Amino acid sequence: MLREIDRVLIDRSRIARRVGEMGEQIARDIESEIAGHPVAPAGAEPRVVLVPILTGSLVFVADLIRRMPLKLSVQLMTVSSYPGKTTQSQGVTLQGEMPRGLAGAHVLVVDDILDSGRTLGMVRREIEGQRPASLRLAVLLRKRLAGGPRAVDVSVEHVGFDIEDEFVVGYGLDFDGYYRNLPDIVTLRAEQFASPGTGTPA
Ligand code: IMP
Ligand code: MG
């Protein structure tokens, strides 16, 4: 185990179990969405498009899609909200383009964690504006915020785990770009956050 790790919050076997359940549940939900939503022109094949938000959802989405027995395509988008050594969201910046051509598609947005809600609030609004046939949001983690309501109140249809308000890394989640490759979701020792000019985690 890396010496920077404080403790394992959710281990790889719990993650695998939950991600499997989520993939199967989401696939069932999208299938019933399709059944209740006739496509025009008649006979056209319904389109299912996954929109993973990079970089944090990298590992989660790779596991999730393999548990979704559906014909689907993937359109990536990249967002950055934590530049450098900070554990406070600095606002959302879209890197590159939003996925386009989602009108009439059944869209599933996938992110690693719901924190302030700024990222998913922005993405939900943008994609809704394209008039998809249906839109669902899935996150592996949702933080219970200690300091009151989320900055942006966004509804998320699928949640893997609710966690307390602490900074976590692993399974795709990073601190300053590192630790995404850890197979478990862990907290870091406090010294990791202590460097000149940056705060300690809330
Ligand atoms: P939001 O826009 O504040 O909801 O933040 C969402 C993004 O911030 C996530 O997609 C993560 O990339 C990042 N984030 C939020 N909390 C954590 C954390 O505890 N560890 C690592 N990244 C986090
Ligand atoms: Mg991140």
pLDDT in tens, 182-202: 999 999 998 888 765 444 333
Mean pLDDT across the chain: 91
pLDDT attached to residue 199: 41
In contact, 105 and 74? CB cutoff 8 Å: no
Q: 7 CA to middle of ligand 1, Å?
A: 19
Q: Which ligand 1 atom is at minimum distance from the Cα of 117?
A: 4
**CA–CA distance, 137 with 129 (Å, rounded to integer):** 15
Q: 176 an active-site residue?
A: no
In the structure, which protein residues have their CB atom closer than 6 angstroms to any atom of ligand 1? 56, 81-82, 89, 92, 111-119, 167-169, 173-174
pLDDT-derived band of residue 96, with 50, 70 and 90 as boundaries? confident
User: Which residues make Cβ contacts (< 8 Å) with residue 25, sequence separation at least 6?
Assistant: 158
**CA–CA distance, 187 with 128 (Å, rounded to integer):** 35
In the numeric block, the tokens 């959710």 are attached to: 10
Q: 113 CA to middle of ligand 1, Å?
A: 5
Q: Summarize pLDDT for 119-133 with one digit per residue, the tens.
A: 999 999 999 999 999
Higher pLDDT, 36 or 7: 7
Higher pLDDT, 94 or 49: 49
- Specify the residue with its C-alpha closest to ligand 1, atom 16: 115
Q: 19 CA to middle of ligand 2, Å?
A: 19
In contact, 147 and 113? CB cutoff 8 Å: no
Q: Which of 11, 115, 174, 176 is catalytic?
A: 115
Higher pLDDT, 159 or 83: 159
